[in-house]
């Protein structure tokens, strides 16, 4: 197949209309689909974490990854939505003597566009949104200059790994980079590290760097993400007290864990609980302090929050809920956490996870910030023409709900980066993606799709105490979001309905005999 030879894959009679089929051709697993009489074939491995796409869901000619909801077009393997990176490998098909034959015609790599373009596009930030934008510009044929700048010492890396597989020891640091330097060199993407931006002039479309240099661009994308919220209590400056947001933070914590036997985590956020799971994998004693009575109940409700709490307790985590921290004690290093009820927790290290805030300090004089975020229209353009924003800093207007939203999720940031890139190139399409996120704890992934800052009813398919369940979050009997452990294809389908502006009734969702996939 490497020599572009035709290889027999499947009897034509075995491929039914609209029903994907997985075949193994030589050493490759290939997904086949007959759609409106035509036969298409593409690679079966998602370009994010290598999930088998055959376990996902195909609707029309779009296949959605079962793990983290990347989307691809089976007709040509083209990436449609983050967190996928490359396109899928693509295959030409033909039918002879009742057999389907395949020949590989594309390996999914992004080509450097031909031609000349004297424009400069500047991307401020090298996280999920910034990197996705840079890659999408090239994928969409932009041949001009792309400059991506970051204040960090590292190029784009997988931030979601920091609190999960990196701290647990399952993933080495070498797995973190999204791409190698050779990738950016090949696509002529200038990646400037340790180059923080201190000011933006929207009218002139120029930026000023901390070293005094400046750069003018034809289009600018602001994608600086978030910063951990500080925790201003006495003793927070002691050695051994850490925030976790960047790779630098994670490396400092990893060095600390080599000697630590007991760690106190402040905050029962996603980050805090993922860290708790990771530290228990290292057999470190873990205490979690948080003011709420049930972890993550505001997002998932008491039943799912209760399951999360019970799972942590079964794995040895000690919770101190309904409690606040009034300070940290120690001489040079933290040795105790002081709680509001007067009790003390001895510790070797403290990890603080109480949320993030948009990283917009450098925009103070730009006029682009309102109430701590950057408002953008449905094309992700700011109030200044030619200046766009995506990711954690962007307050996006419109959408299916009609209400502005700012969502702090890795997948959402990547998808906004892709959309912003297309709009920088002239697209007038409105951003309509439905947010998706996942949290991995103790080897199990809890996945969530939609946006439900308010809901008045949670409806379940299956029991929360079972190995798998599906939950729907409703407001006035309209589905706003869904969450699952183990029922990934149904979750994908609900996400597709949400994106189409449709709903499923509470009775239908909780009826195990009702086929959600048939909607």
Query: What is the rounded distance in angstroms from the CA atom of residue 231 to the CA atom of residue 209?
Result: 28
Query: How many angstroms separate the Cα of 66 from the Cα of each of 50, 80, 165, 445?
Result: 11, 15, 19, 11
| Each residue's pLDDT tens digit, 477-504 | 999 999 999 999 999 999 999 999 999 9
**Tokens 């407001």, located at residue:** 475
pLDDT tens digits for range 148-183? 999 999 999 999 999 999 999 999 999 999 999 999
DSSP string, 79-134: EEETT--SPPPEEEEEEETTEEEEEEEE--PPPPPPS----EEEEE--SHHHHHHH
b/e map 477-506, b = 16+ CB within 10 Å: eebbbbbbbbbbbbbbbbbbbbeeeebbeb
> What does the pLDDT look like over 373-388, one tens digit per residue?
999 999 999 999 999 9
In eight-state DSSP terms, residue 429 is P
Quick one: pLDDT band at residue 26, thresholds 50, 70, 90? confident
Strand partners for 343: none
Across the beta sheet with 145-149, what order do the strands follow?
Answer: 189-192, 145-149, 120-124, 219-222, 387-389
Distance from C-alpha of 313 to C-alpha of 186, rounded to nearest angstrom: 49
Task: Kindly tell me if the per-residue pLDDT of 400 is higher than 70.
Answer: no
**All domains of the chain in start order, with CATH:** 7-106 (2.102.10.10), 120-227+358-424 (3.50.50.60), 241-354 (3.50.50.60), 452-518 (3.30.390.30)
Query: Residue 401 — φ and ψ, nearest 5°?
Result: -80, -20
Which of 321, 317, 318, 296 has its CA nearest to residue 464? 296
Q: What pLDDT, on a 0 to 100 scale, did the predictor assign at position 300?
A: 97
Q: What is the 3-state secondary structure (H, E, C) of 190-255?
A: EEECCCCEEEEECCCCEEEECCCCEEECCEEEECCCEEECCCCCCCCCCECEEECCCHHHHHHHHH
pLDDT tens digits along 63-113: 999 999 999 999 999 999 999 999 999 999 999 999 999 999 988 899 999
> Across the chain, what does the average pLDDT equal?
95
Tell the residue number behind the tokens 């055959």, with chain if given.
54
> 122: which strand partners?
147, 220
* Per-residue pLDDT at 108: 87
Q: What is the model's pLDDT at position 262? A: 98
pLDDT band at 135 (very low <50, low <70, confident <90, very high): very high
Nearest-angstrom CA–CA distance, 198 and 176: 27
Question: For residue range 287-323, what is the model confidence (pLDDT) as tens digits?
Answer: 999 999 999 999 999 999 999 999 999 999 999 999 9
Q: How far apart are the first and last CA of the chain?
A: 38
What integer is the mean pLDDT of 361-373? 96
Stated pTM of the model = 0.95
Distance CA 223, CA 221 (A): 6
Coil, strand or helix: which one is 394? strand
Sheet of 214-216: strand order equals: 197-201, 206-209, 214-216
- Pairing relationship of beta strands 197-201 and 189-192 according to DSSP bridges: unpaired
Q: pLDDT for 417-446, tens place per residue?
A: 999 999 999 999 999 999 999 999 999 999
Q: How far is CA 331 from CA 238, 239, 361, in A?
A: 8, 9, 33
Tell me which residue has tokens 């105790």: 336
Q: What is the pLDDT of residue 2?
A: 56
**Backbone φ and ψ of 345, nearest 5°:** -115, 120
Rg over CA atoms, the chain: 24
């Amino acid at each position: 197949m490497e020599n572009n030879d035709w290889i027999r894959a499947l009897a034509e009679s075995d491929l039914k209309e609209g029903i994907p089929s997985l075949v193994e051709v030589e050493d490759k697993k290939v997904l086949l689909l007959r759609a409106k009489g035509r036969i298409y074939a593409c690679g079966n491995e998602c370009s994010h974490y290598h999930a088998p796409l055959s376990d996902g869901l195909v609707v029309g000619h779009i296949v959605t990854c079962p793990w983290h909801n990347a989307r691809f077009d089976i007709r040509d393997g083209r990436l449609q939505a983050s967190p996928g990176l490359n396109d899928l490998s693509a295959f030409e098909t033909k039918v002879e003597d009742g057999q389907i034959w395949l020949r590989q015609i594309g390996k999914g790599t992004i080509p450097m566009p031909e031609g000349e373009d004297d424009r400069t596009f500047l991307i401020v930030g090298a996280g999920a949104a910034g990197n996705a934008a840079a890659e999408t510009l090239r994928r969409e044929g932009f041949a001009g200059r792309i400059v991506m700048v970051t204040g960090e010492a590292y190029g784009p890396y997988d931030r979601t790994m920091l609190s999960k597989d990196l701290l647990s020891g399952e993933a080495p640091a070498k797995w973190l980079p999204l791409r190698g330097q050779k990738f950016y060199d090949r696509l002529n993407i200038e990646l400037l590290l340790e180059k923080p931006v201190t000011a933006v002039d929207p009218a002139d479309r120029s930026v000023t760097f901390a070293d005094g240099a400046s750069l003018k661009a034809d289009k600018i994308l602001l994608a600086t993400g978030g910063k951990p919220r500080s925790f201003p209590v006495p003793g927070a400056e002691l050695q051994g007290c850490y925030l976790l947001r960047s790779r630098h933070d994670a490396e400092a914590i990893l060095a600390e864990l080599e000697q630590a036997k007991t760690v106190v985590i402040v905050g029962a956020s996603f980050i805090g609980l993922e860290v708790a799971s990771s530290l228990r994998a290292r057999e470190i004693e873990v205490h979690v302090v948080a003011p709420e009575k049930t972890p993550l109940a505001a997002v998932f409700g008491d039943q799912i929050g209760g399951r999360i709490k019970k799972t942590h307790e079964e794995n040895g985590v000690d919770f101190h809920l309904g409690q606040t921290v009034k300070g940290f004690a120690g001489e040079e290093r933290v040795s105790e956490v002081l709680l509001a009820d007067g009790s003390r927790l001895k510790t070797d290290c403290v990890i603080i996870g109480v949320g993030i805030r948009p990283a917009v300090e450098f925009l103070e004089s730009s006029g682009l910030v309102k109430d701590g975020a950057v408002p953008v229209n449905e094309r992700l353009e700011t109030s200044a023409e030619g200046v766009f924003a995506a990711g954690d800093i962007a307050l996006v207007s419109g959408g299916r709900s009609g209400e502005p939203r700012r969502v702090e999720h890795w997948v959402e940031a990547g998808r906004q980066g892709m959309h912003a890139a297309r709009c920088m190139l002239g697209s007038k399409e409105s951003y309509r993606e439905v947010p998706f996120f996942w949290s991995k704890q103790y080897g199990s992934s809890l996945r969530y799709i939609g946006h439900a800052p308010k809901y008045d009813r949670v409806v379940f398919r299956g029991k929360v105490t079972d190995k798998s369940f599906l939950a729907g979050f409703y407001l006035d009997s309209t589905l706003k979001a869904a969450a699952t452990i183990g029922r990934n294809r149904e979750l994908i389908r609900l996400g597709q309905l949400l994106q189409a502006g449709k709903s499923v009734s509470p009775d239908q969702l909780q009826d195990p005999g009702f086929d959600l996939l048939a909607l």
